[in-house]
Amino acid sequence: MQALIVIDVQNDFCPGGALAVPGGDEIVQGINALMADFDAVILTQDWHPAGHSSFASAHEGRAPMSMIDMPYGPQVLWPDHCIQGSMGAKFHMELQQDRADLIIRKGYNPAIDSYSAFFENDHKTPTGLEGYLRTRGITQLTMVGLALDFCVNYSAVDAAKLGFDVTVQQDLCRAIDFDGSLVSAMDGMQNAGVTLD
């Protein structure tokens, strides 16, 4: 059983959004076309409360894209994005949401960020996705979406560590490439046994 995991194809990560990934909207039609090839389609959705601790605006004097140490480790401070119920948090309007078997929302805990579809950034609090996949007998995962060097990367590495067979389809991802993050992510995924297609 194979699942397509579509990571965070949301308005705030597309051109014009609060945390726009260059070319983020260019992958939508390709993702839609791929959905029919899989036994299951799962969408993830960044879903932050206002004032989330990963927002630079929650830390006086801190600029977006600066780093801070949180109790769970280093954290990039982001512009406010994907706030629950906002237009920015909605999926790109051309993404075929009706094809999804499951939507996993992440990042809703105000005290901790969540890049991965499987765990919050403490690397131990689960989202529930692993259990869903196991109970459905899904062993092979293909990941696409935004952003390749953050949420796709963390999701792929976590999935590989959990024993899934993971492929990242690079042509249907786009990256932020912040301070060497893309090269680091590609190395990390390869070292974890992720297939980069």
Average pLDDT over residues 144-152: 97
Two structure tokens written together for 66: 């600066």
Average pLDDT over residues 125-146: 98
Average pLDDT over residues 9-19: 98
Q: Check whether 178 has a pLDDT greater than 90.
A: no
Average pLDDT over residues 135-140: 98
pLDDT of residue 179: 86
Average pLDDT over residues 50-71: 95
pTM for the model stands at 0.96
**Averaged confidence pLDDT in the chain:** 97
Average pLDDT over residues 107-112: 96
Q: Check whether 194 has a pLDDT greater than 90.
A: yes
DSSP one-letter code for 1: -
pLDDT of residue 28: 98
**DSSP assignments along 124-165, one per residue:** -SB-SHHHHHHHTT--EEEEEEE-IIIIIHHHHHHHHHTT-E
Active site residues per annotation = 8, 106, 151
CA separation for the pair 47, 177 (Å, rounded): 22
Two structure tokens written together for 51: 């004032």
